[in-house]
Amino acid sequence: MSFEEDVLKDFITEAKENLERLDEEFVELEQRPEDKELLSSIFRTIHTIKGTAGFFGFKTLEAIAHFAEDILAKLRDGLVVADEETIDVLLKSVDYIKAIIAALEETGKEPIDDTYLEFLVDLRNFAEKVAKRAEGGGEDKKPSQEAKAEEASETSPEEKAKTEEQPKSEKTSEKEKTQPEEQPQKEAEAKVPAPKKEPEKKEKATPKTDKTPHVQLTETHVRVDVKLLDQLMNLAGELVLSRNRLVQIASRLSDSELQNATQNLSLVTTELQEKIMKTRMQPIGNVFNKFPRIVRDLARSTGKKVTLRIEGADTELDRSIIDAIKDPLTHLVRNSIDHGIEDPDIRVQVGKPPAGTLILRAYHEGGQVVIEIEDDGRGIDVEKVKQKAIEKGLISPSEAEKLSDREALALIFRPGFSTAEKVTNISGRGVGMDVVKTNVEKLGGSIDIQSVLGAGTTVRLKIPLTLAIIPALVVTCNSQRYAIPQVSLRELVGLSEETRKNIHQIGNSEFFRLRGEMVPIIRLSKILGVQPSEENHKEESLVILTSGAMDFGLVVDEIWDSEEIVVKPLGKHFKDLSIFAGATIMGDGKMALILDVVGISRKIGLKTEDVDRAKETIVSETFTEDDQQFILLFNVAPEEQFAIPLALVARLDKISADKLEFVGGKEIIQYRGRSMPIIRLENFLPIQPLPEQEEYHLLVFAEGENEVALLVSRIVDSIQTKIDLDEKLYQIEGVLGSAIIKDRTTLFLDVYKIIEMHDPYFFVKVVPQDDRPYRVLLAEDSPFFRQMIANYLASSGYEVETATDGLDAWEKLQKDSFDVLITDIEMPRMTGIELAKQVRSDERFANLPIIALTSLASDEDRRRGLEAGIDEYQVKLERSRVLESLAELLKRKKEEAQAA
């Protein structure tokens, strides 16, 4: 539902409530015609209906409300008094308004019927008659018999003829004195043309029609106190806890009837919880709609010109979170105008339009809401940020040199940091951004800044949809259970003898090498101050968590399962324990504490420079990034083993077989409040079918808002290994090749291709338009990556030629022409950096676009690559970003060539 549809829905709901009240109020008005308070209430209701009708362009509704408002204005101002005849006309107006509201609710359009136009003409005539009565000075304030007789004489043709013979200038002068609302009335008349009235029709005192519609408006909405909604949410939470408890009991007793009843209860509980959650959801437009005024006022006070654009105002969030983000968003908007957008004359000097653009954008992504504040201002000078941080003693000059741009921008969130030249009443007081970050992280969210000097800045917030009932991973330490919110969960790693080799001790700190990335780790037992359990040492797992600022690993004794938990606040005696975010009641009735991921990351106290030092220390003793990959091994049928890169999987989950549904010929499951399609590999590959079992594993893949899952029987392992792919043995669409893994022949799947075979429209086609397909030269020494990347490029409409290394690519460039070069970095004979330098040294290829694809590039690699002439860096397995970057680069190069 769009934001406008939402507003219309609210308008109809409010109008229905007010119209039912109007019937009662008009009857009261007939008894108390001079009740000013009652008249003002009726006037406000009609005025609101008129204004909103005008906003939506409902002309008939607006005109009826306008003329009714004219009559009410004369009554309210005491110029005339409501008599039976006037009340009749106004009540008929209400009946017509009700009929239009009913039509709008049903069809979204006003009814097309001559009856409405006829009534509108009569209503206008009556409004004019009331206006003329008001011109007489209000002589009919007392509805006596004499007044009625006088009124009758006023309506005779002779008197009207005299009135019409009055000089035009005289009539106009009198109207200006007694009828200040003449102009709005004329505007409404212009919107609703009416046929000319015959003189004899002017004798009629009231419009006579027997066609008045009588519609009984049905109540579809009720207003509920927010406190009642909060109470319902609490009760839903208690119901979830009871459901969890009952599920555990039923699984222990193994009673089929009890289990069936529990499953039904579980379904109803989940649906009830979702519906109650929906009552608390509100569009973020409720926050965004206050910013046009804020932006206008700030722009005027700073002498700047700012155009505000709002996108995704209908994105919904829990009411409690909407309340919590109002102040952080306001601060970020103020910063964008004060620090970001330049003065008009400066913008013109650098070739920008005088008015800056500020965009407020919201959208759903991966079970969270992303809010972006984007401006096209001056951007943030990273070197200036570093210098300020050195001046304030936050970092040393040597540390500043090692900081990447992203790490330098993160300094802005340090307490007391500011780059403002002068303190203003808007910003620059050295406080604020640290508070913004703290408040966002308290919600379980994260904040990030991206900026390009001279081009603008984007601040991105990621926050959960709700905080009341959340999915969590349950882990144990020293036989005690703890819950970790899944919104902070990145991935899980089993600590086997093989994977423990990736743990490195540097000083007093431990680091885990995760696909070439150095992740600091800490043991939960150390944080809690308890002795580690020796008996569970072999079962330990590493939970990779993200705190927004950086990722870290948490070593736990055991991983139980994922479960929906109800967040209960901690008592005042535990408020100072920053490592806990609350508590919950588990299915067996026992309590478990909820870990605060942000609080734990602060307790660890590690900085990004510590991670960099660890990387430098270990780099000499480890393999190159492309030599080994983290892969996920799984079975469909027990006899066959398959593998995919673990980085491609958005989530791993389990479902019971009874959750599978067939709808419209498609197999789906209800997953996280949405219907998600299921892929069975045997439908696309010549393999053994999935056996029937009570529970299956899901490998969930995501592309933007789209999600799909492979259904598999068993997760075998996740391992880091060198992939020696054989491309010749299995030449099947959807299979990249095979390799021997753990003494078994393993098929490596092309997940992108299989998803495309299942749904050709799953991936958005991002290809720049041209007369012919763009030709791509792909240099990649790994057969695994070479085939996967070539496949998704080809399926997106590119013509792809592959090269096995940099030297092979250079030789092919001499023989053929290409529109773009895509290259790996680490390759034998000639690396990607060397290839880029060779290409740029040849004036024939001076303008050839170059994109580097890598598993993980360090900042030093990026610096060397940019110096060598590489245009873009992207991660190999991030298909959508690679394609978007490729299309944008080709488009930009084409525009540059045309401009030249």
Residue-wise pLDDT for 723-752, tens only, equals 778 877 888 888 988 888 888 899 999 888
Predicted pLDDT of residue 516: 59
Rounded Cα–Cα distance for residues 441 and 599 (Å): 9
Residue 837 has pLDDT above 60, yes or no: yes
Residue 108, classified by CB atoms within 10 Å of its CB into exposed (0-12), middle (13-18) or buried (19+), is exposed
Query: Which CATH number belongs to the domain containing residue 420 in this structure?
Result: 3.30.565.10
Compute the average pLDDT of residues 258-274.
Answer: 82
Residue 715, classified by CB atoms within 10 Å of its CB into exposed (0-12), middle (13-18) or buried (19+), is middle
For residues 294 and 404, membership in a common domain is answered with yes
Predicted pLDDT of residue 181: 42
Predicted pLDDT of residue 153: 40
Residue 727 · residue 786 · CB < 8 Å: no
For residues 748 and 832, membership in a common domain is answered with no
Rounded Cα–Cα distance for residues 634 and 718 (Å): 9
Residues 6+ apart with CB under 8 A from 209: 92, 115, 118, 119, 122
Residues 6+ apart with CB under 8 A from 750: 734, 735, 736, 787, 788, 791
Predicted pLDDT of residue 410: 83
Query: Which CATH number belongs to the domain containing residue 30 in this structure?
Result: 1.20.120.160
Greatest CA separation found in the chain? Answer: 112
Domain that holds residue 127: 3-203
Residues 6+ apart with CB under 8 A from 391: none
Residues making up the chain, counted from first to last: 900
Predicted pLDDT of residue 624: 43
Residue 208 lies in a domain: no
For residues 386 and 479, membership in a common domain is answered with no
Residues 6+ apart with CB under 8 A from 448: 459, 460, 462, 548
Lookup result for tokens 């940020």 = 385
Residue 259 has pLDDT above 70, yes or no: yes
Lookup result for tokens 């103020």 = 334
Long-range contacts, stretch 24-32, CB < 8 angstroms, 24+ apart: 26/87, 26/90, 26/91, 26/94, 27/87, 29/82, 29/87, 30/82, 30/84, 30/87
Strand order in the sheet with 629-635: 714-721, 629-635, 641-645, 744-749, 735-741
- Pull the structure tokens for residue 302: 């700073």
Which of 156, 171, 203 corresponds to the end of one domain? 203
Compute the average pLDDT of residues 776-786.
Answer: 88
Residue 768 lies in a domain: no
Compute the average pLDDT of residues 211-217.
Answer: 70
Average pLDDT, the chain: 78
Residue 367 · residue 562 · CB < 8 Å: no
Question: pLDDT tens digits for 169-209?
Answer: 343 334 343 343 444 444 444 446 444 444 444 444 444 54
> What confidence category does residue 821 fall into, taking pLDDT thresholds of 50, 70 and 90?
very high
> What confidence category does residue 270 fall into, taking pLDDT thresholds of 50, 70 and 90?
confident
Question: pLDDT tens digits for 465-497?
Answer: 666 677 888 998 888 889 988 877 888 888 877
For residues 668 and 797, membership in a common domain is answered with no
For residues 410 and 476, membership in a common domain is answered with no
SS3 175: helix
Helix extents (H) in 371-445: 382-391, 397-402, 405-410, 433-442
Lowest mean pLDDT among 345-349, 601-605, 782-786, 823-827: 601-605
Residue 130 lies in a domain: yes
Query: Which CATH number belongs to the domain containing residue 252 in this structure?
Result: 1.10.287
More confident residue, 611 or 378: 378
Q: Residue 425 gets which letter from DSSP?
A: S
> What confidence category does residue 427 fall into, taking pLDDT thresholds of 50, 70 and 90?
very low
Residue 432 lies in a domain: yes
Residue 260 has pLDDT above 90, yes or no: no
Rounded Cα–Cα distance for residues 328 and 458 (Å): 15
For residues 784 and 866, membership in a common domain is answered with yes
Give how many domains the chain has, as a whole number. 6
Residue 215 · residue 98 · CB < 8 Å: yes
CA distances from 25 to 20, 42, 329 (A): 9, 7, 43
Residue 129 lies in a domain: yes
Rounded Cα–Cα distance for residues 72 and 86 (Å): 10
Predicted pLDDT of residue 365: 66
Question: pLDDT tens digits for 686-700?
Answer: 999 999 998 899 898
For residues 482 and 615, membership in a common domain is answered with yes
For residues 294 and 432, membership in a common domain is answered with yes
Question: pLDDT tens digits for 53-95?
Answer: 887 888 888 899 899 989 988 888 888 888 888 888 888 888 8
Residue 767 lies in a domain: no
Residues 6+ apart with CB under 8 A from 180: none
Does the predicted TM-score (pTM) go above 0.75?
no
For residues 257 and 196, membership in a common domain is answered with no
Rounded Cα–Cα distance for residues 411 and 285 (Å): 31
Compute the average pLDDT of residues 340-361.
Answer: 91
Residue 709 lies in a domain: yes
Query: Which CATH number belongs to the domain containing residue 738 in this structure?
Result: 2.40.50.180
Exposure string over 853-866, b if 16+ CB within 10 A, otherwise e: bbbebbeebbebbe
For residues 74 and 127, membership in a common domain is answered with yes
Rounded Cα–Cα distance for residues 527 and 543 (Å): 14
For residues 597 and 693, membership in a common domain is answered with no
For residues 779 and 859, membership in a common domain is answered with yes
Residue 769 lies in a domain: no
Rounded Cα–Cα distance for residues 503 and 513 (Å): 7
Which of 142, 170, 203 corresponds to the end of one domain? 203
Rounded Cα–Cα distance for residues 296 and 630 (Å): 52
Rounded Cα–Cα distance for residues 256 and 260 (Å): 6
Question: pLDDT tens digits for 225-251?
Answer: 667 877 787 788 778 878 878 887 887
Predicted pLDDT of residue 492: 85
Residue of 528, 416, 543 lying closest to 477 (CA atoms): 528
Question: pLDDT tens digits for 840-864?
Answer: 888 888 889 999 887 654 555 667 7
Residue of 115, 90, 105, 118 lying closest to 27 (CA atoms): 90
Q: What percent of the chain has pLDDT over 90?
A: 10
Predicted pLDDT of residue 356: 92
Q: Rg of the chain over CA atoms, in angstroms?
A: 35
Rounded Cα–Cα distance for residues 28 and 23 (Å): 9
List, in sequence order, every residue forming a beta bridge with 484; answer none if it has no partner. Answer: 473
Residue 374 · residue 361 · CB < 8 Å: yes
Which of 434, 464, 494 corresponds to the end of one domain? 464
SS3 239: helix
DSSP string, 777-806: EEE-S-HHHHHHHHHHHHHTT-EEEEESSH
Rounded Cα–Cα distance for residues 73 and 355 (Å): 42
DSSP string, 189-211: HHHS--PPPPGGGGG-SS---S-
Residue 26 · residue 42 · CB < 8 Å: yes
Rounded Cα–Cα distance for residues 2 and 283 (Å): 10
